[in-house]
Structures are given as structure tokens and as C-alpha cells.
Amino acid sequence: MSIELNRRSAALALIAFMSISATAEPLPRNIVDRTQVSVSGLSSGAFMAVQMHVAYSATFAKGAGVVAGGPYDCAEGALSNALGRCMTTSGSIPVGHLTALTRTRATGGQIDAVSNLATSKAYLFAGTVDTTVNPRATHELMTYYADFMPATSILLKTDIVAEHAMITDDFGSACAAKGPPFINDCDFDLAGGLLAHLHGPLAPRNNGPLGGRFIEFEQGRYGSGHGLGAKGWAYVPAACDGSTPCALHVALHGCRQNSGDIGDQYVRRTGYNRWADSNRIVVLYPQTGPGATNSCWDWWGYDSADYALKAGPQMKAIKAMVDDLAGVGAPEAEPCFTATNSDHYTADRATMFFGATYAKGSGESMGWWFQTSSLQQTAPGQYRVGGCG
């Protein structure tokens, strides 16, 4: 009886190990049109969306959707500014100074040319009872954007009695509630509104089962540390098979909203995918990780002094994800190692279970400890079985 129980326990342990170590896919390359890219975000993701839009204006040419956010580099590297003038608006936001700073950085090549913004768009949303980011910050953002783009390109919506959350028309907490998952049902389709403003008239959304697929990808290959999560998500409609490039929208979660905090609710329940499914839009959901302060994106400098520039580590990582989807540049070669499986285990590239070895991260079988295998590194601490050509 004890031998049988041990065998069953070992089998269950192996099954559990293999399920935890499920293989993450790489992002598909060359499936989106690099001229049809937009970004949006909530809270820290909103400030980050503005940073991405302004710093990489040549890339995010369709514009930005900003839900509870303020002007570009509102914090100017100071947490006191972030918590004060940018969120509670205790003190005025120096919009004129920030627009001048933007132009200076563009002239110096630290961010893209501001002329790109003239043909871009912005959709701005602030709930009337938001107690985290004062709606006045979003009004100041409208003033900031008006210095770079026509007034007709800016849409400001501030008439919904909503707390600090991503807003939907059919999922989440009560509209005026505040708390996880920070997705509120306000009988308003915010994702549809901002996508329509940024990308033009849309076909009706798919209210039935989605026809595409969700991809959990190795985010670490685009940059490890710096508050980034090990894995990110993307939704790829069935029509975006690479034969004809699709549009791309990057959706950035807010603080306390990454997959470690609320699972896949931001990825699956914020309303983007059903519009994407019927309008040939790939949706990218980058993720912060345990190293991120309060799971926030870096919009005040907690990780890097370059946080709002093209050189910012989080900014560069998201841009690299976009480039892969758009097929920009050559794919980066993956480090490859050929050795006996026991040597892979010693080098921490593999795990071992009663002499059987498995690639660390992917969990793919490599055979017995004395056999030889080739492993390709897909991210720090992540490997898959593959030939080294």
C-alpha cells in the first residue's frame, strides 16, 4: 500500500510540476501594421500610456487612450509631485513648463519629434468621483495635448459618476465603488469608445465567444528586472494570421492590477478583445511584476531616472514587444547550450525528477540525466528544447 501511495504521489507531483511549467509562446512576428498602433492605460498605466505616446510618437501614431491620468512627465522624477500635483492636484500642474520640456527633449533626441503628435489623437476619461487621481489632472492633460494636436483630435469624457477604475458596460464592481479589481460596471463601453476615437469607425463588437486566441508570452526576453513581469499577454484575433497586417493596441493595467494581483481579469474582462475580434486589432497586455512598486508602471522614477524617455527600461521593453509584432528589425538570437542533461541540471538550466530531466521554465522533457540535449534560452531562467544550428 505504501509503495503504491508513493508511486501515485510521485506521479501527481510530476503532473503538478508539468502544469505549473507550461510552455509560454513567443509573440508572433510581422502580424501588425506599424502605422496602425495605439496605446491606452488606467492610472499608472494612463501616465505610462502618455509617456509611450509622447516619447515614441512615431510608433504610437494612432494615439493614446488615457483613463485617470495627467500630462507627460507630470512627476518630473519626484514622488512628492506624483502624489501631490499629479494625483490630488495639491498645487498646480505646470503645463507650460511640461510642454516646453517635451520640445526640449524632442530636439535633443531623447524622445521622438513632437510633429508626429499633430496627426495623432487622444481620448481622455476621468470619473467624476475618482478619489485617487483628481479629474482636474485629466483636464490639464487636455491642455497639454492641445499644444501639440488639433482640438478636434482630443476627446474628453468626464460625465460618468465613476470611481478610480477601468470602466465597462457589463462587468465589474459598482460604478462608484473603489477596490480590486478596479474594473467597474458603469453601463458605458469605455474600451469601445476609445478604440473608435483612435482607430476610426469600428464594426460592431463580437458579443459571442471570441474567435481568436490568448497568448501568454515570455516577457523577460524584452527586458528582465526593472519592475517587469516574467510573462505578458496578447489577444490575437483569428483574422490576424499574418497574411494581412492588423492594427495593434497596447493596453496597460493600473497599480495593483497585474496578473499577480487580479489574475487575467484585466486581460479578459475590460472590453478590448471583443472589439478587437471583429475589427482586426491585436491587443498587447504588458505586465509589471513583483519588483514594481505597488505593481505600478514607472511614471515617477522608482526604477530609472530615464523612466519617461526612450531610454527608460520599461519604455524600451514595451517598444521592443511592439517591434516584434510589427516585424521591425531582425529577431534577436536566443542563446543556445548543448551539453549532457546532468550538466544542464548543474548549470541550473534544467530540473530533475528521479533521473528524468526537464527544461527549466518550459518543463519540456529532455530525457534521462546521462543523455545530451540542446536548450535555447528564451528569457532569464527560461529554456526550451531546441537544436543549436
* Positions marked active-site: 43, 130, 164
Contact 184, 287 (CB under 8 A): no
Q: What is the CA angle 246-68-260, rounded to 5?
A: 70
Work out whether strand 246-252 and strand 32-42 pair parallel, antiparallel, or are unpaired: parallel
User: In 3-state terms, what secondary structure has residue 28?
Assistant: coil
Q: How many CB atoms lie within 10 A of CB 190?
A: 26
Closest CA to 67 of 295, 284, 257: 257
Work out whether strand 63-67 and strand 32-42 pair parallel, antiparallel, or are unpaired: parallel
User: In 3-state terms, what secondary structure has residue 228?
Assistant: strand
Q: How many CA atoms lie within 13 A of 277 on its CB side?
A: 16
How far is the C-alpha of 158 from the C-alpha of 156, rounded, in Å? 6
How far is the C-alpha of 369 from the C-alpha of 165, rounded, in Å? 51
How far is the C-alpha of 258 from the C-alpha of 295, rounded, in Å? 7
Closest CA to 273 of 227, 210, 185: 210
What per-residue string of b and e applies to 55-90 under the rule 16 or more CB within 10 Å gives b? bbbebbbbbbbbbbbbbbbbbbeeeebbeebbbebe
What per-residue string of b and e applies to 227-259 under the rule 16 or more CB within 10 Å gives b? bbbbbbbbbbbebbeeeebbbbbbbbbbbbbbb
Q: How many CA atoms lie within 13 A of 5 on its CB side?
A: 2
3-state secondary structure 204-221: CCCCCCCCCEEEEEEHHH
